[in-house]
Amino acid sequence: MQYCAKIKDLSVSFHGRKAISNISTELPSCGITVLLGRSGSGKTTFLRSLNRLNEIIEGYEGSGNVNLFLGGRSRDIYSDDAPEPTELRRRVGMVFQTPNPLPMSIRRNIILPLSLIPGSKKTENEERMESVLKTTGLWDEVKDRLDTPAGRLSGGQQQRLCLARILALEPEILLLDEPTASLDRRASEVIEKHLLSLKNKYCIVMISHSVRQALKLGSHFIFLRGGNIVASFSKGELPEGKEAENLFNDLL
């Protein structure tokens, strides 16, 4: 199997309190890896250690290695060989639990981060915006109101905008932190559909709050408890139907 990430002895603490300790695992490069666990089990911290986002939080301390497969080769993102954190975060894109559009227009939400990349061109950015809005199924819904505030979109549309915004930066790995937690069922289903269509193009690591969603989307599953990995499976190892659901519920 091919890997998009190899993690060795990863520990992270905030203000001296351990959030995850000595995690070692590998994440396959195709399909969606789903992280499951109760709140406080370290899922979000684990996810954020893959794009070094923990470091902007006060009281951060971390150790261990995270090797990501980026640009055709494996690099330890915490070593000197690593790309700058700002560049890393573009290549390892993240979508958050609650939709977080910037307080500006739909167009600016996508164009602003793009325009800050050195050497980016205005016309290319516009083209890229159109293409990612089409990928996330938003184009037809917003093409006539690109210059209205993004905050006026519905929750589901905002979340798809956030997905589009990160796709515009052409990441190689996508980190999704409970992307449907704040949405109703229909909006969640739309997002799930788009994630399934993206899973062959990107290495996707997502946290899910629902066992049913995990089983529907995931091809690899990791269970966390108290900052440690307690179990992991690939889809093939799971029992059929209802039994898999029961197994997952027992592990949570």
Partner 1 sequence: MNRVKLLKILSYISAFFVLASFSLLIGFIFVKGAPSIKLSLFFGDTNPWQAIIGARPVWNGIWPAFVGTLYLILLTMLISLIPGIGCGIYLARYAEGKSKEVLSLAVDLLASVPSIVVGLFGFVLILLLRHTIAPNATTCIILASFCLAILVMPALVVTTRSSIESLPEALLMTGASLGFTETQLLRHILIPAAGKGILGGIMLAMGRAAEDTAVIMLTGVVVNSGLPAGPTAKFEAIPFLIYYTSAQYIDRDDLLRGFGAAVILLILSAGLLFIASRLQSTMEKRWKGAK
**3-state class (DSSP) for residue 194:** helix
Instruction: Quote the least distance from Cβ 234 to partner 1, whole Å.
Output: 28
- C-alpha to C-alpha distance for 85 and 200, rounded to whole angstroms: 25
- Pick from 56, 121, 196, 239 the residue near partner 1 by CB under 8 A: 56
- Pick from 104, 198, 230, 231 the residue near partner 1 by CB under 8 A: 104
- Pick from 24, 38, 63, 116 the residue near partner 1 by CB under 8 A: 116
- Pick from 98, 210, 219, 232 the residue near partner 1 by CB under 8 A: 98
Span 147-176, contacts to partner 1 by CB under 8 A? 147-149, 165-166, 169
Using the minimum distance from each CB to partner 1, give the nearer residue, 125 or 211: 125
- Pick from 8, 18, 108, 225 the residue near partner 1 by CB under 8 A: 108
Q: List Cα–Cα distances, 76 to 22, 28, 67, 87, 246, in angstroms.
A: 16, 17, 4, 14, 37
- Between strands 228-234 and 203-207, the pairing is unpaired
Using the minimum distance from each CB to partner 1, give the nearer residue, 13 or 54: 54
- Pick from 44, 45, 70, 90 the residue near partner 1 by CB under 8 A: 90
- Pick from 28, 31, 113, 155 the residue near partner 1 by CB under 8 A: 113
- C-alpha to C-alpha distance for 111 and 19, rounded to whole angstroms: 35
Contacts 24+ apart (CB under 8 A), 189-198: 190/137, 190/156, 190/160, 191/156, 191/159, 191/160, 191/163, 192/216, 192/217, 194/135, 194/136, 194/137, 194/160, 194/163, 195/32, 198/135, 198/167, 198/174
Stretch near partner 1 under the rule CB under 8 A, chosen from 25-33, 73-81, 100-108, 130-138: 100-108
Stretch near partner 1 under the rule CB under 8 A, chosen from 146-154, 186-194, 224-232, 233-241: 146-154
- C-alpha to C-alpha distance for 37 and 224, rounded to whole angstroms: 5
- C-alpha to C-alpha distance for 1 and 219, rounded to whole angstroms: 13
- Count of residues of this chain found to bind partner 1 when the rule CB under 8 A is applied: 30
**3-state class (DSSP) for residue 62:** strand
Using the minimum distance from each CB to partner 1, give the nearer residue, 70 or 94: 94
**3-state class (DSSP) for residue 166:** helix
Using the minimum distance from each CB to partner 1, give the nearer residue, 16 or 241: 16
Query: Where does this chain bind partner 1 (CB under 8 A)?
Result: 51, 53, 56, 86-90, 93-94, 96, 98, 100, 102-105, 107-108, 111-113, 116-117, 147-149, 165-166, 169
